[in-house]
Chain A
Amino acid sequence: MRIFESSVGRKILMSITGQLMIIFVIVHLIGNSSILFGRGGINAYAEHLHALPPLVWIARIVMLSAIGVHILYGVIVTLQNRAANPTGYAVKRQLKASFASENMIWTGLLLAAFIVYHLLHFTARLLPGVVQSVDQLNRFDVYRMVVTAFSNGLVALVYALAMVVLFLHLSHGIPSFLQTMGWNNDKTIPTFGTAGKVISAVLMVGYVLIPVVILTGLLTL
């Protein structure tokens, strides 16, 4: 099919799967911030979220497919682009391309690695040291698991750095998906560029806030 084969079609697939992931990242942050309301907040949120297993699994399958398509075409498109421009200039002055736009493949692959780590850590809970217990209301104690994990400075640092990588990826990804969908004109191009940076920064700060409030002792067991 044309959308899978054409250069423009693949870009649109990257855009749509990227948009799905951005929606997820926003919803996930809103959900996670329930931890700021303490044990009751996040444990209740997690309980409600998992009350409907079929829905959870549909969401997981959609997200995993989106990630798969995004990575697959991200790699293919990058390899094609490298092949199209292998001989560099002796001198090259970049006018507009940014560190973020030039390193999408690397920030993307780092995020993929982080997703694997994060899923093993808090979803599959297969990493050593993950505290699994129930709270007084016999709900799975997400709060204890997260607070214990982030009390370890190194773990908190890994999560914070991953969010810096997310910022870089989205600061190019957000304006880029809008352009690829064709939702752009002369006036919106600079606006979307700025909006991309602002939204990515807000998401980064929001996510990093969680390990920070735990490390600083504002949230304790």
Chain B
Amino acid sequence: MSAHNAQTMTLTLHVWRQAGPNEPGRLEQYEAKNVSPDQSFLEMLDEVNEELIKAGKDPIAFDHDCREGICGMCSQVINGVPHGGQERTTVCQLHMRTFKNGDSIYIEPWRAVAFPVQKDLIVDRSNLEKIMQAGGYTSAHTGGVADGNAILISKIAADYAMDAAECIGCGACVAACPNGSAMLYTSAKVAQLAALPQGQVEAAARVTAMADALTEAGFGNCSNHYECQAACPKGISVKFIARLNREFQKALFK
């Protein structure tokens, strides 16, 4: 056993508990004991839940899936920052070594009207899918499999599209935004397709439909706080919002 494993921590958690979508919620206090610095944040919560279950209490409900930073399910605002504030890190990849013995930790769900709380820390993020459905697709010919490099794409365009495609749809940008806007998410989806030849057919229709879907779903407007980029676990740049604005202007004249 390595030396630092012995140095476990005791932490005070303030966790948002809410029985259901229309129930009132409140912050409840829990003690997390024997927390190893090597544990991930979710593993720490798993152990708190074990104790709650043993005591016959309702465990804390939270979303998670891959636990390797790629699915975007783990959605918790930790001490006032979505995903806990470690740069480009999802909650599942946040480790307890970033906390100190005796720390108080506030854990809350994503907060936005478009993300209604389902239970405790779980919110319904299907409104992001509605934006995607409004235009996040391309037309493709059916039939035989196309040749590998039949459509030439420059390295610059490919890299740019890949940078936008890094978005994992976690919704941290919305949770961080003072306006509850999903503009960073939407812009990543618009830019990713606008940069590629395959995305040209629907380019104009896509940007307007996705921007409208954003408003219809109850997300706010972007007022360029740039809080989203700072909170995004994938470092999606607000340059994609500038791109979305340009695409929108092009679409105005179509």
Contact = CB atoms under 8 A, between A and B. Distances in A.
Contacts of A2: 208, 251-252
Contact of A179 (B113, B227, B245): B245
A102 B178 contact: yes
Contacts of B181: 81, 84
A48 interface: no
Nearest to A97: B225
Contacts of A184: 238-239, 242
Interface in A158-194: 172, 175-176, 179-186, 189
B106 to A, nearest CB: 4
Q: Which of A9, A90, A102 has the most CB of B within 10 A?
A: A90
B225 A90 contact: no
B211 A101 contact: no
Contact of A96 (B179, B180, B220, B225): B225
A3 B207 CA distance: 13
B60 interface: no
Given A84-B181, A182-B243, A183-B242, A7 B231 contact: no
Given A85-B220, A90-B106, A95-B176, A7 B215 contact: yes
Contact of B208 (A6, A89, A96, A186): A6
B238 A189 contact: yes
B77 interface: yes
B14 interface: yes
A10 B113 CA distance: 21
Interface in A59-86: 77, 80-81, 83-86
Contacts of B252: 2-3, 9
Contacts of A90: 14, 16, 27, 106, 108
B244 interface: yes
Interface residues of B, number: 52
Nearest to B117: A87
Nearest to A88: B111
Q: Which of A83, A85, A102, A172 has the most CB of B within 10 A?
A: A85
A11 interface: yes
A220 B1 CA distance: 83
B216 to A, nearest CB: 10
B249 A172 contact: no
Interface string B97-123: 000000000101001111000000000
Interface residues of A, number: 43
Q: Which of A6, A12, A86, A94 has the most CB of B within 10 A?
A: A6
A179 to B, nearest CB: 5
A97 B79 CA distance: 17
Nearest to A1: B252
B185 interface: no
A90 B13 CA distance: 13
Interface in A2-61: 2-3, 6-12
Nearest to A93: B80
Contacts of A181: 245, 249
Interface in A85-127: 85-98, 101-102, 104
B74 interface: no
B192 to A, nearest CB: 16
Contacts of B179: 81, 84-85
B85 interface: yes
Contacts of A84: 112-114, 179-181, 218-220
A94 B79 CA distance: 11
Given A12-B245, A96-B230, A172-B224, A89 B113 contact: no
Nearest to B225: A97
Given A7-B214, A12-B248, A97 B178 contact: yes
Contacts of A97: 178, 225-227
A182 B249 contact: yes
A79 to B, nearest CB: 10
24 contacts: A7-B212, A7-B215, A8-B245, A81-B178, A81-B179, A83-B113, A83-B220, A84-B113, A84-B180, A89-B77, A90-B14, A90-B108, A92-B80, A94-B227, A96-B227, A96-B229, A97-B225, A101-B224, A172-B224, A176-B224, A179-B242, A179-B245, A181-B249, A182-B245
Given A11-B221, A85-B112, A90-B27, 5 more contacts: A2-B252, A7-B211, A7-B212, A84-B181, A102-B225
